[in-house]
Each structure stands twice: as structure tokens, then as C-alpha cells.
């Protein structure tokens, strides 16, 4: 039976969940996989936390050298989060010939090339299933389930916090602030929710997934990012009337080697499978040139779902005679011509205007002059003489064209304000 020594760096929520799975299922792994996986070291300053999980204090350390110098440790799993000291510790582990497993999407998206370079020196492995979409096996699906395909498109609801908030706004009519407060009370959102609600978390993940899918480095700097903090419940309600559901969507597309990547609140048709993903659940929709469309759905966060992905990587790593290399991740240089920034999409526009004759004709004239076709118009009952709400849905158009039209519309005397502009992703 193959014996595998593992070190855990940190015993927070996910680290604790991982320790629980490894110890609870140790005998099961022996019987089903022929692997005896033993936690040989834990890096944790809070000894009481370790004791509460049943960890023998003899294997609890605070110095990374206790891990790197131990020849019985083959795999190091990291749970610190953030950049430092995780980056330094993992590079030290790789240089000592130990494979690493991580859920740290910020670190991996920003420093994948450094980790790959260190791993290649010693032949160690990089495993990062848990960095994207928690317990949903999206990494393994891309790497091993879709090799026959050129992956052309990724669309994902890959942040549970924002999906919970938008679901509450859609299903219950909650305003953004109210839904966020409830998400914080339930533990879905942090005290400082910026990383989630402003789209940073989803940006890290779509960078990793796109790099992996397209075999070309897609750095976070090339991912257009918008959050949900300015989303108005009124637009969600109107969108439903038009047959759309709002989601914070991470989207990347590879068209003939040209890549576009973005994170933003968008409308999707209410008949689309992603529209039915509610609460804190995640889903990723993939399009391959051979398989067509597939969707993976499940828990995107939490101690045990994410711990499940970590343990899966540990077991998978333990079975490998040699480890996969990622030469495309080492390409630090990014060629601007390989990326598209002027996205083509349908757009939802809501504006407020004076309730006077001819205003609608003036607005449609601006759109027509910019060669923007109108797919639908919805004029709501005026709130007052100075506040008539008008909604347009356009046909596919370049983003630069719609923004130029918006600037002209703002200067029309009868238009008070452009209240909202969202893409529609079909």
C-alpha cells in the first residue's frame, strides 16, 4: 500500500474541513484506492484550534522548515489565503520537491507562472481544483474531460455571495443593501464584502479557468470587471418582465485566438440553465467545438465542499507517476492584440425622461444614427411629469457604439438621466 505524507498549512474553515475528511475517510481511502494518507504536519499558530480538531500537538508547527525538511511529506496543502506568506511557503515547498495543493485563487491567478517555474525545477506538481467553484470539479473537467475539444466559451456563476444577493433581490424584491446584510448574517458574505460584490473573486477564477481552457495566459489585468453594488432592484424587476434574469456572470470567449474576458452583472434569458442557479450555488457553462454545451453545478464554497476538492487533488496527486506541466502559464508577457476589449452584445438601457411628446422619437433617432437596432421598447407609467421610465433592448452591437449613443442621449434636453446599462448574454 502506498503511504502518502501530507502537510496542511493553516487550519481555518477549509483547512479544518480538509483535516476532517482526511482523518474520517483514511480507512476508506486505504480500501478503495490503496492509499494510506496521513497528515504528518500542520502549520498553525493557534494551538487550541488544532487541539479542538483532534490534531496531535506533536505535529503542529509554526515554521515552514518543519514541513520542507521532512522527507515523509510529499504533498503540501495551503489554506492561508492572500498572497503572503502563502506564496513564499509554497515556493519553498516546491523547491523542496513537494507537490502543492491550493484553493488560493488570488495567489494562483497572480503568481501561477512563478509556481510553475519552481515546480518544473524539481518535477513537483501543482493542483488547484479547489481554487475555482469550490467542490465542483471544473478543473478536472477542462483538463481531462474535454481534451477532444477546442473550448470556445466559458460562462459561470462562480461567486456564491453575489448569487445569493441577486437571488434575494429577484425572488423577494429586496434592495441591494438589505440582501447584502442578510448574506453577512448568514455567513455568505464577509464583514468587508468588497472582494465578492465588486467582482474581484470571480475575476481571479475566470483568469485561471480561461488560461487553462485556452492554453494561453489570461491575466487578471485583461479581465474587464464590474461589481453588483450599484444594481437597482427596479432593473431586476423590469428584466423579469422582459424575460431576463440578472446574474453576476464571469464570461470568457475564444474566437479564432482572440480572447475576451469579463465579469459583470448581466441579464440572461430566464429560460437559460444559468438563470435557474439560485442562492449560494455556483455553475459553469462550457461550450466545446465537439461536445457543444455542458454545465456543472454545485456548492461553490464551504468547509466540506471546498475540502472535498482539496482532498480530491491530494488523492489524485498521490496517484501520479509524473506531474502535468503548464508551459503556457510561464508566459509572463501578454500580447494586447490577442485580447478583445470592444465586446459585442445586446444591451438593456433604462433612462428617465420628461413625459413630453416626441422624446421617444428623439432617443430612437440617436440609436438609429449609430446603426443600433432596437429589439424591444418598454415605457413604464410616468412617476411624474419629469420622470417617465423608458427601457430599450438593443440587438447585438459593439460596446463602443452603445457608449457613444448613450453620451448623445444624455445631451437630449428631455432626457434626465441614463439610469442603467447592462449587457444581455444569451
* CB proximity list for 372: less than 8 A, separation 6 or greater: 394, 395, 397, 401, 402, 405
* CB proximity list for 165: less than 8 A, separation 6 or greater: 176, 179, 180, 183, 189, 197, 228
Q: Which three cell numbers stand for residue 319?
A: 496517484
Q: What is the 3-state secondary structure (H, E, C) of 137-169?
A: CHHHHHHHHCCCCCEEEEEEECCHHHHHHHHHH
How do the residues of the chain divide into helix, strand and coil, expressed in percent and rounded to 5? 40, 30, 30
C-alpha–C-alpha distance, residues 55 and 404, integer Å:
61
- The secondary structure of 237-284 as a DSSP string is HHHHHTTEEEEEEEEEEEETTEEEEEEEEEEEETTSGGGG--TTEEEE
Cβ of 407: how many Cβ atoms within 10 Å?
A: 10
- The secondary structure of 376-391 as a DSSP string is EEEEPPPSBTTBEEEE
C-alpha–C-alpha distance, residues 409 and 360, integer Å:
11
Do the bridges between strand 60-61 and strand 35-43 make them parallel or antiparallel, or are there none, so unpaired? parallel
Cβ of 90: how many Cβ atoms within 10 Å?
A: 28
Q: How far is CA 266 from CA 139, 235, 250, 424, in A?
A: 24, 11, 10, 6
Q: How far is CA 377 from CA 140, 347, 372, 384, in A?
A: 44, 12, 13, 20
C-alpha–C-alpha distance, residues 156 and 105, integer Å:
15
Which residues are known to be catalytic?
Answer: 205
Q: Which residues pair with 384 in a beta bridge?
A: 387
Cβ-contact 248, 202 below 8 angstroms: yes
Q: Which three cell numbers stand for residue 342?
A: 470592444
Q: Could you tell me which of 417, 420, 263 has the C-alpha nearest to residue 348?
A: 420
* CB proximity list for 88: less than 8 A, separation 6 or greater: 64
Rg, Å, the chain Cα set? 24
Amino acid at each position: 500500500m502506498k503511504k502518502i505524507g501530507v502537510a496542511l498549512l493553516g487550519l481555518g474553515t477549509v483547512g479544518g474541513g480538509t483535516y476532517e475528511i482526511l482523518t474520517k475517510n483514511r480507512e476508506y481511502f486505504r480500501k478503495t484506492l490503496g492509499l494510506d494518507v496521513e497528515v504528518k504536519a500542520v502549520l498553525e499558530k493557534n494551538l487550541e484550534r488544532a487541539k479542538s480538531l483532534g490534531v496531535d500537538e506533536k505535529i503542529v508547527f509554526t515554521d515552514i522548515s518543519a514541513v520542507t525538511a521532512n522527507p515523509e511529506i510529499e504533498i503540501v496543502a495551503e489554506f492561508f489565503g492572500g498572497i503572503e506568506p502563502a506564496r513564499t511557503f509554497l515556493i519553498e515547498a516546491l523547491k523542496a520537491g513537494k507537490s502543492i495543493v491550493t484553493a488560493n485563487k488570488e495567489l494562483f491567478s497572480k503568481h501561477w507562472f512563478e509556481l510553475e517555474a519552481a515546480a518544473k525545477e524539481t518535477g513537483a506538481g501543482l493542483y488547484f481544483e479547489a481554487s475555482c467553484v469550490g467542490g465542483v470539479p471544473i478543473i478536472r473537467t477542462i483538463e481531462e474531460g474535454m481534451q477532444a475539444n477546442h473550448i470556445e466559451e466559458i460562462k459561470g456563476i462562480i461567486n456564491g455571495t453575489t448569487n445569493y444577493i441577486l437571488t434575494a433581490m429577484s425572488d423577494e424584491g429586496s434592495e441591494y443593501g438589505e440582501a447584502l446584510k442578510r448574506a453577512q448574517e448568514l455567513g455568505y458574505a464577509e464583514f468587508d464584502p468588497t472582494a465578492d460584490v465588486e467582482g474581484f473573486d470571480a475575476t481571479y477564477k475566470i483568469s485561471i479557468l480561461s488560461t487553462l481552457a485556452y492554453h494561453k495566459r489570461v491575466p487578471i489585468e485583461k479581465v474587464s470587471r464590474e461589481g453588483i453594488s450599484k444594481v437597482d432592484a427596479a432593473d431586476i424587476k423590469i428584466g423579469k418582465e422582459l424575460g431576463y434574469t440578472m446574474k453576476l456572470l464571469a464570461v470568457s470567449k475564444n474566437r479564432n485566438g482572440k480572447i475576451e474576458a469579463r465579469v459583470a452583472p448581466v441579464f440572461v434569458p430566464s429560460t437559460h440553465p444559468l438563470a435557474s442557479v439560485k442562492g449560494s450555488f455556483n455553475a459553469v457553462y462550457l461550450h466545446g467545438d465537439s461536445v457543444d454545451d455542458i454545465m456543472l453545478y454545485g456548492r461553490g464554497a464551504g468547509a466540506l465542499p471546498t475540502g472535498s476538492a482539496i482532498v480530491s487533488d491530494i488523492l489524485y496527486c498521490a496517484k501520479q507517476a509524473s506531474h502535468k506541466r503548464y508551459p503556457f502559464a510561464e508566459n509572463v508577457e501578454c500580447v494586447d492584440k490577442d485580447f478583445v476589449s470592444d465586446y459585442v452584445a445586446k444591451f438593456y438601457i433604462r433612462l428617465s425622461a420628461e413625459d413630453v411628446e416626441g422624446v421617444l422619437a428623439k432617443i430612437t433617432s440617436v440609436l438609429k444614427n449609430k446603426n443600433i437596432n432596437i429589439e424591444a421598447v418598454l415605457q413604464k407609467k410616468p412617476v411624474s411629469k419629469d420622470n417617465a421610465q423608458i427601457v430599450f433592448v438593443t440587438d447585438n452591437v459593439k460596446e463602443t457604439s452603445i457608449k457613444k449613443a448613450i453620451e448623445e442621449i444624455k445631451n437630449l434636453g428631455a432626457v434626465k438621466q441614463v439610469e442603467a446599462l447592462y449587457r444581455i448574454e444569451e
